[in-house]
Amino acid sequence: MTGPNNQGEQLRVGIIAGGGSLPLEIARSVAARGGFVHIVLIEGQAQGALRSFAHTDASWAEVGKAIKAFKRAGITDIVMVGRMVRPRFKTARPDFGFIRSLPSILRIFRAGGDDAVLRAVISMFERRGLKVRGVGEIAPELLVSDGAMTDLLPTDEDAADIINGFALIAALGRHDIGQAAVVSQGRIEAIEGAEGTDRMIARVAQQRRDAKGDPIIRSRGVLVKRPKPGQDLRVDLPTIGPDTVQQVADARLDGIAAMSGHVLAASRFELIHAAERDRIFVVGVPDEPLADTDHATTRLVDTDPLVFGKIDPPAAIKADIQRGVAIMSTLAQFSVGTALVIRKGRVLAIGTHESSASVIERATQFYKVSRKPKGLAVIGHRTPVDETLIEAIAAAGLEGLIVMFGREDRPQHKGSIVARADALGIFIAGAPVAVLEPA
């Protein structure tokens, strides 16, 4: 790479720019060191201020145009940064480069978890001669560093919540979900699903407003943000910024803990100013002290479901069933988990303490209910199941549900619940909280 470690060589970087301030911050960082950038502005997402640099406008489907622009500029190293809205295939205006890359693009659209999508994106560009780099390689000063970024420090209670949150994300991350969680006084309040960090925090804020003055629920707690184990940080680096601080303040949390060297601090000075104004601590935490936790057990050993009704789970969703059971079994180690919804390989919503019906309703924000049901709900082993929940699952266009049960529990359900599932054409099956082994 023609980078800052190569004496006498100019840093030349291509930026595929989505929304937010980070593409501009990276461009300015490279320019300040005498480097050159060429930016591909993704239509409808990138900031107008980026036009002060050499640039090319392109839609997400103009792959060939983007690659040609970089090669004409003599660039072989690129970064992909900024908010990217998951594209819709129907709105594509493809160029020849898109058609040429169609097999890769179809794999991207069919990919389940976010990690699979991002790996496919990287592979597509690297096969065309462009090396995808991480922001930490190009502008390491933008990463969260070790220690406090603000004059306010976490309390001992906050520190315990940080350890718990880091362990939770590490355990769940091996199932390709979650970059953030909210932990308050040992209680896991929320886990990030498909909604992203911002909407997760907004959900916590609403739950606290609904708590009607309970001081334990309405105050304290920490937003924890870190990458999933094995996450490709070249194109999916977790980020905090001034907006994060505002959301944390609105939710009445005490602070933010981010993994140092692995999380971006967007608009750093504004972030620090906002945090100190609102008395929110922001701290960078290294991963090493948290590596040896009691919860680092994730490899699934036993997932065979026990069918209760007349309808068998379709073979096509076996992988989703196994993954859902593994996630709920992991959550059980943290004494949390009411329900989750997984559809076509993507975990859409996870419930910590809220009702299963709320989790299912939240999941429906991320897909259009079709005539042909797809996906399933997995219900925690301490979560009640009734006919109303069965009807909610059917209304949400899901194929069925897996009901978790403890190893000492009797794996059965009331006849009326099973009969209702049969009548609505959805499967209902049970699965034990799995024995997990170190990965």
Q: Which two tokens stand for residue 97?
A: 């480069």
| CATH class of the domain whose range is 12-138 | alpha beta
Q: Quick one: 187 exposed, middle or buried, by C-beta within 10 A (0-12, 13-18, 19+)?
A: middle
β-pair type (147-148, 281-285): antiparallel
Distance CA 203, CA 201 (A): 5
- Count Cβ atoms below 10 Å from residue 302 Cβ, excluding itself: 13
Distance CA 237, CA 239 (A): 6
Sign, CA torsion 348/353/354/355: positive
From start to end of 187-247, where are the E strands? Answer: 187-191, 222-225, 239-240
- Count Cβ atoms below 10 Å from residue 307 Cβ, excluding itself: 14
Distance CA 120, CA 425 (A): 36
pLDDT for residue 409? 63
For 40, the enclosing helix (H) or strand (E) is strand 36-42
DSSP 238: -
- Non-local CB neighbours of 215 within 8 Å, separated by 6+ positions: none
Q: Residues in the chain with pLDDT < 50?
A: 1-5, 94-96, 98-99, 101-102, 108, 111-113, 115, 289-298
pLDDT tens per residue, range 338-388: 999 999 888 999 999 999 999 999 999 999 898 899 999 999 988 889 999
Assign 3-state DSSP to the chain and report helix, strand, coil percentages, each to 5.
Answer: 40, 20, 40
Where in the chain are the domains?
12-138, 143-290, 299-437
Fold of 143-290: Cytidine Deaminase; domain 2 (3.40.140)
Q: Per DSSP, what are the bridge partners of residue 223?
A: 182, 256
Q: How far is CA 360 from CA 341, 414, 428, in A?
A: 7, 21, 16
β-pair type (12-17, 36-42): parallel
Query: Which three-class secondary structure state does DSSP give residue 143?
Result: strand
Q: Please indicate whether the domains covering 143-290 and 299-437 agree at the CATH topology level.
A: yes
Fold of 299-437: Cytidine Deaminase; domain 2 (3.40.140)
Q: Which two tokens stand for residue 29?
A: 């960082």
β-pair type (400-405, 376-379): parallel
Which strands, in side-by-side order, build the sheet including 376-379? 306-307, 427-432, 400-405, 376-379, 339-343, 346-351
Distance CA 153, CA 309 (A): 54
Q: Tell me if 304 sits within 8 A of 156, measured CB to CB.
A: no
Which residue is associated with the tokens 């769940």? 172
Query: Which three-class secondary structure state does DSSP give residue 96?
Result: helix
pLDDT for residue 214? 61
Q: Tell me if 46 sits within 8 A of 23, measured CB to CB.
A: yes
Q: Tell me if 306 sits within 8 A of 431, measured CB to CB.
A: yes
Q: Per DSSP, what are the bridge partners of residue 183?
A: 188, 222
Looking at 84-183, list the stretches that DSSP marks H as alpha helix, in order from N- to C-terminal side.
96-100, 102-110, 114-126, 135-138, 156-173
Q: Tell me if 266 sits within 8 A of 239, measured CB to CB.
A: yes
Q: Which two tokens stand for residue 15?
A: 């930026």
Which residue is associated with the tokens 């309808």? 311
For 4, the enclosing helix (H) or strand (E) is none
**pTM of the full predicted structure?**
0.83
pLDDT for residue 331? 93
Looking at 180-317, list the stretches that DSSP marks H as alpha helix, in order from N- to C-terminal side.
196-209, 215-218, 242-250, 268-277
Q: Tell me if 422 sits within 8 A of 414, measured CB to CB.
A: no
